[in-house]
Amino acid sequence: MGEYILEMRNITKEFPGVKALDNVNLRIKQAHIHAIVGENGAGKSTLMNILSGVYPYGTYEGDIIVQGEICRFKDIKESEAKGITIIHQELALIPTLSIAENVFLGNEQTGKGLIIDWHKTRQKAIEMLKKVGLNENINTRVMDLGMGKQQLVEIIKALAKDVKILILDEPTAALNDEDSKNLLKLLIELKNQGITCIIISHKINEVVEVADEITILRDGTTVETLCRDIDDFSEDRIIKGMVGRELTSRFPERNRNIGEVCFEVLNWNVYDPKDNTKQVIKNVSIYARRGEVVGIAGLMGSGRTEFAMSVFGKAYGKNISGTIRKDGKEIIMHDESDAIVNGIAYATEDRKSAGLILIDDIKRNIVLPCLPKVSKRFVVNENEEIKIGEEYRKKLKIKSSSVLQKTGELSGGNQQKVVFSKWIFSEPDVLLLDEPTRGIDVGAKYEIYCIINELAEKGKTIIMISSELPEILGMCDRIYVMNEGRIVGELTAEEASQEKIMQCIMRSNKEVM
């Protein structure tokens, strides 16, 4: 008994019409890093929500045993009292408050009664910051920190509550490589201090790096638990467990059928909309052919998204100059609807806050960019709309109860499929895809790649932005490397490698210095 700090036994949780979890068992050893992996909808988040008391006792079946004692959490407060803290993907920090204030939010250091003891607060906060190696002034407002540091503040906040079991939901999803590495290092350090960590992650390479044990969930059931040094701990092995079959290749093959140059952007300059003196994009020129998948690689903040959005009908930026040519003819776009009319589509990196209308259903989202196609004069034909929604739901295999389901209720992968449906429906010639597989599980990623390939085979021009270098290398025919708002390299698929891309970036950094 004593070996395990936490056990979850035969957990079953039903939502109306769906069994989200079916007899799930989880055993976690003291001071271990335990990873939970699985495709979207496998039940990872549900399981963690049960553990942390978001779904109170009574709404599920089974037992939670913490340090040998059966626990029945009514709410998050009770699980926190047991030393269980969950850090959600969307951070729960107040951006306008300082680091110290955030760390002790809900756990204020009081002197007498309700009065906050600021000396104690500061002193403790400084101590905690040192402990995790966050080199910042405690009075800095959280909104002025980068994502990586904000993540650290969340962890400090958990530590301040005397956490024993720390649950992290997709901790590195929004972080760049360096911040991710630091975070993982910190987790190992916490482990050495005796804190148990549970991480949920899609990034299997990271999981393999840090986890002691990995539990794989699939369709609401536990498939297996792998232990380091005992079981095969390779990425392929884990992916096989997650999808239930062997993925022969992570990137599907495509019949390359590359035609004429279709889309050109020449001498493109863009300034920051908030700061007229800051040039975000500097003299960028790129081109793409029909049927070609062109990648734009680069670090976070290199200006890739800003570039794509400014090209898409000036959706970003000020004082934009430069020419855009399609099929050799110059096109001028004043806003997003001009871009759509000119056959250009932009699928945003931020699906939830800018890609979909989450309170609307699938069909309404799909037809939105191209309403005239389902309308006569100004009147929308709702039956035609349902028909089209249904057509795309089948074609792109969007998992949903019907086209009338709200997109906010779908999983990440299925939401992305709705975004793709929406842009395919607008019949573009050029698709700008910004992080098309962010936050999506392996199986759905593969499906998205297939859709991209199919579009390219049909002669569409694809420009794809991605932070995942393997994805860029696996999918693209040609790769531009972007850094600090400039194109600093152009590589063909044959010559490109992760090292070469990084070299381009490093070289340009030196030149700037």
Residues in touch with other proteins (CB under 8 A)? 15-16, 59, 312-313, 315, 335-337, 339-340, 346, 348, 353-360, 364, 368-369, 371-372, 375, 378-380, 382-384, 386-387, 401-402, 404-405, 422
Considering the complex, state which of residue 162 and residue 382 has its C-beta at the smaller distance from other proteins: 382
What is the nearest approach in angstroms of other proteins to the Cβ of residue 14? 10
**In the complex, what is the shortest distance from the CB of residue 69 to other proteins, in angstroms, rounded to a whole number?**
27
Tell me how far, at minimum, the Cβ of 375 lies from other proteins, in Å.
6
List Cβ neighbours of 479 (8 Å cut-off, separation of 6 or more): 294, 295, 296, 297, 472, 473, 489, 490, 491, 492, 493, 496, 501
The answer to whether the CB of 10 falls within 8 A of the CB of 23 is yes
- Region for residue 23 given its phi and psi (left: phi exceeds 0; alpha: psi -120 to 50; beta: otherwise): left
How far apart CA 145 and CA 95 sit, in angstroms, is 9
Distinct helix (H) and strand (E) counts, the chain? 16, 22
| CB-nearer residue toward other proteins: 355 or 412 | 355
Least gap, CB of 404 to other proteins (angstroms): 6
| Residue number with CB closer to other proteins (252 or 273) | 273
CA-based radius of gyration for the chain: 25
Instruction: Using the minimum distance from each CB to other proteins, give the nearer residue, 235 or 360.
Output: 360
- Asked if residue 202 lies in contact with residue 45, where contact means CB atoms within 8 angstroms, the answer is no
Q: How far is the CB of 355 from other proteins (least distance, A)?
A: 6
To the nearest whole angstrom, how small is the minimum distance from the Cβ of residue 119 to other proteins?
40
Contact by Cβ (8 Å): 485, 282:
yes
SS3 488: strand
Closer residue to other proteins, CB minimum distance, 405 or 453: 405
The answer to whether 102 and 87 have CB atoms below 8 angstroms apart is no
CB closer to other proteins, 402 vs 497: 402
The distance of Cα 274 from the centroid of its chain, to the nearest Å, equals 26
Beta carbons of 73 and 53 less than 8 angstroms apart? yes
CB of 410 to other proteins, least distance (A): 14
